[in-house]
Amino acid sequence: MTRRTAAENLTRVLYPNDTKEDGKRLRLRQQYFLCSASLQDLLRRYLRTPGCAPEKLGTAVVIQLNDTHPVLAIPEFIRLLLKQGMTLEAALGVAKEVFCYTNHTVMPEAMESWDLALLASELPEIARLLCQLDDLFCAEMQALGAEERLWHRVRPLRDGRIYMADLACWVCGYVNGVAALHTEILRRRVLRDWAQLYPDKILNRTNGITQRRFLALCNPSLSALLTHRLGSKNWITNLFQLEKLKPYANNGEVLAAFCETKKENKRRLARWMEGQGLYYDPARMLDVQIKRLHEYKRQLLHCLGILALTFQIEQGEITEFAPTTFLFAAKAAPGYARAKAVIKLIHAVGDYVARSPKAAPLLQVLFVPDYSVTAAERIIPAADVSEQISTAGTEASGTGNMKLMLNGAVTLGTYDGANVEIVAAAGEENNYIFGARVEDLDALRRGYDPKALYRSDPLLRQCLDALTDGTLSDSGTGCFADLKRSLLEPEADGVADRYFVLGDFQSYVHAKLQVNGDYLRSPMAFARKCWLNMCSAGVFSADRTIEEYANEIWRINPVELPEYAENE
């Protein structure tokens, strides 16, 4: 029974909490198990095909590694080829033909490394193999004539640890980022040494989304309007067809019909949320931030922004404001205490707003728990504003921003990730961009003093003090004091307010007021911005993304399918 329980634990929870030793071991076993099972299945099916041999795998198979979690597949693949009778050098050569690596992050903590002693205790054969691969890496770098100081910095096995991103960058034929800005940051900063060693290896392939799920399926009323105006359903397989609808941005009848679909989706969302025990008034503007909970995504800034609006309304400084629901949906990693504190803060801000006689008629804060694709399919079609407010240079790409754009929401965001490409496609005048840009942040950080901002800005000070002066309750946990301290006091590495929350605060509040004012003063002009965003979303179709991977990385040819018939 004990062995059975241990075996079931391998797949009971994906990405188990690894803050403790037992969790680290379970996560390592899980990664290895999933990688090995997939590779063994792949090899079994490949080798039973007549004429197929292990050394020919590179002509028939590409394995795309999604971040560093599956990079254990590289040594396991080589191990399996060794069992087929290949030499280590030959197996490594095949691995270099087969593997490619997509990087989705610039966060150092997301680029895994494993203690070699831990690997040796759990996966001794893999640990020995990694040491042998390290010898081959050193020999290859010497033969390449690379500067020793350079390649020692990216040596996959160093300081008693195996660095998975470096292992992937060495073995994989291509390494790609997932947005133009993200890829540029990889080349200039995160993977700079690899870009010097292999200048042509790092490519960009901007993420994409499927319009079949995130428009045709989840937004039937808007889909019907698009099909009617285009005269066919061809947009379902060719999203660039939406470009043809841009002239309707000046057609009052079409914009009115578009607004009606948004109202219908809000009513549908309200009914669904009632089943979740939440009340949403569909007459309100809907401003959403729906994404994983992480400090760099700055749900904390969003909370401070809502507090700023609340206090300004209460003090009579804001007299005109379109009633708005600010909707959060997120999950926090099990061991991420600060992210959980932000969820508690969202609820506390919501409770305070609901009790405020002046703010409650104009503001509402909701948190949708257990965020999932099912929840996204209800929220995205109803949204008016898409909050994409990560610190510039930290968001790799994002796909929620694309889904919301496709369903006719404007982006309120930083110049980061795929927001850059959204603005390029739909126009900055049709979105709301705020905050410091990547090129500004290095200079700003050199003299950055969040305490000086706190002392000089009364509104910011009031918002931050609300976390600890009894305005908001953290039920005596002290977690709100920790949030405040993280913004004002240097942490262990000497950095305070790592994600520039206070630095972007004024710009963010101004942008929130601007988007609300535009919505209030001219609903049709605001609808025009939304319509133009939707019509410009063709470039973000996953069809385009996959075609680029197929043509330039996987080297496979597409199977042509007929477009939808006109009468379907």
DSSP H helices in 356-437? 373-379, 400-406, 419-426
The mean per-residue pLDDT over the stretch 50-70 comes to 94
Residue 234 sits in the same domain as residue 189: no
162 phi/psi in degrees, rounded to 5: -105, 120
In a domain, 324, yes or no: yes
Q: Is the pLDDT of residue 286 over 70?
A: yes
Q: Is the pLDDT of residue 390 over 90?
A: yes
Residue 389 sits in the same domain as residue 519: yes
Catalytically annotated residue among 104, 266, 284, 528:
104
Are 203 and 179 in contact by the 8 Å Cβ rule? The answer is: no
Which of 150, 184, 204 terminates a domain? The answer is 204
- Other Cβ atoms less than 10 A from the Cβ of 366: the count is 19
If phi > 0 it is left, if psi is from -120 to 50 it is alpha, else beta; for residue 375 that is alpha
Q: Which strand (E) or helix (H) includes residue 202?
A: strand 202-204
| DSSP, res 428 | G
Q: Residue 285: which CATH number?
A: 3.40.50.2000
Q: Is the pLDDT of residue 565 over 70?
A: no
DSSP state letters, 327-395: EEE----TT-HHHHHHHHHHHHHHHHHHH-TTTTTTEEEEEESS--HHHHHHHGGG-SEEEE-PPTTT-
Residue 283 sits in the same domain as residue 414: yes
Residue 416 sits in the same domain as residue 273: yes
Residue 101 sits in the same domain as residue 192: yes
Q: Is 2 a catalytic residue?
A: no
In a domain, 220, yes or no: yes
Catalytically annotated residue among 310, 399, 411, 545:
399
What is the torsion angle, in degrees rounded to the nearest 10, for the CA atoms of residue 240, residue 241, residue 247 and residue 253?
-130
* pLDDT (tens digit per residue) in 427-459: 999 999 999 999 999 888 888 999 999 999 999
> Coil, helix or strand for 173?
coil
Residue 249 sits in the same domain as residue 334: yes
Looking at the 3D structure of the chain, how many domains does it have? Answer: 2
Nearest to residue 226, comparing CAs of 564, 469, 487, 543?
564
Nearest to residue 193, comparing CAs of 214, 231, 163?
163
In a domain, 524, yes or no: yes
101 phi/psi in degrees, rounded to 5: -135, 125
266 phi/psi in degrees, rounded to 5: -65, -40
The mean per-residue pLDDT over the stretch 536-547 comes to 97
Catalytically annotated residue among 292, 340, 484, 485:
292
In a domain, 165, yes or no: yes
Residue 187 sits in the same domain as residue 215: no
The mean per-residue pLDDT over the stretch 311-323 comes to 98
As a whole-number percent, the residues of the chain with pLDDT over 90 amount to 90
Q: How confident is the model at residue 38 (pLDDT cuts 50, 70, 90)?
A: very high
Residue 136 sits in the same domain as residue 156: yes
Residue 271 sits in the same domain as residue 292: yes
Catalytically annotated residue among 291, 294, 298, 528:
291
Q: How confident is the model at residue 171 (pLDDT cuts 50, 70, 90)?
A: very high
Q: How confident is the model at residue 164 (pLDDT cuts 50, 70, 90)?
A: very high
> Which residue would you say has higher pLDDT here, 566 or 26?
26
Nearest to residue 504, comparing CAs of 210, 343, 300?
300
Catalytically annotated residue among 187, 201, 294, 297:
297
Q: Is 340 a catalytic residue?
A: no
Q: Is the pLDDT of residue 284 over 60?
A: yes
Are 501 and 298 in contact by the 8 Å Cβ rule? The answer is: yes
> Coil, helix or strand for 196?
helix
In a domain, 561, yes or no: no
Give Cα 372 distance to the centre of its chain: 14
In a domain, 24, yes or no: yes
Q: Is the pLDDT of residue 568 over 60?
A: no
Residue 30 sits in the same domain as residue 145: yes
In a domain, 555, yes or no: no
The pLDDT, as a whole number, for residue 294 is: 96
Q: Is 344 a catalytic residue?
A: no
Residue 90 sits in the same domain as residue 108: yes
Q: Is the pLDDT of residue 563 over 70?
A: no
Alpha-carbon span 419 to 35, nearest angstrom: 33
Which of 175, 204, 233 terminates a domain? The answer is 204
Residues spanned by the domain of 442 = 211-447+501-540
Q: How confident is the model at residue 392 (pLDDT cuts 50, 70, 90)?
A: very high
Are 260 and 299 in contact by the 8 Å Cβ rule? The answer is: no
Alpha-carbon span 458 to 470, nearest angstrom: 18
Q: Is 297 a catalytic residue?
A: yes
Q: How confident is the model at residue 1 (pLDDT cuts 50, 70, 90)?
A: low
> Coil, helix or strand for 335?
coil
Q: How confident is the model at residue 96 (pLDDT cuts 50, 70, 90)?
A: very high
Catalytically annotated residue among 27, 266, 294, 403:
403
Residue 269 sits in the same domain as residue 230: yes
Of 248-257, 382-391, 491-500, the one with minimum mean pLDDT is 491-500
Q: Is 403 a catalytic residue?
A: yes
The mean per-residue pLDDT over the stretch 351-379 comes to 97
Alpha-carbon span 548 to 350, nearest angstrom: 44
The pLDDT, as a whole number, for residue 269 is: 98
Q: Is the pLDDT of residue 566 over 80?
A: no
The pLDDT, as a whole number, for residue 6 is: 72
106 token code pair: 């610039």
* pLDDT (tens digit per residue) in 100-111: 999 998 887 778
In a domain, 458, yes or no: no
Which of 204, 233, 250 terminates a domain? The answer is 204
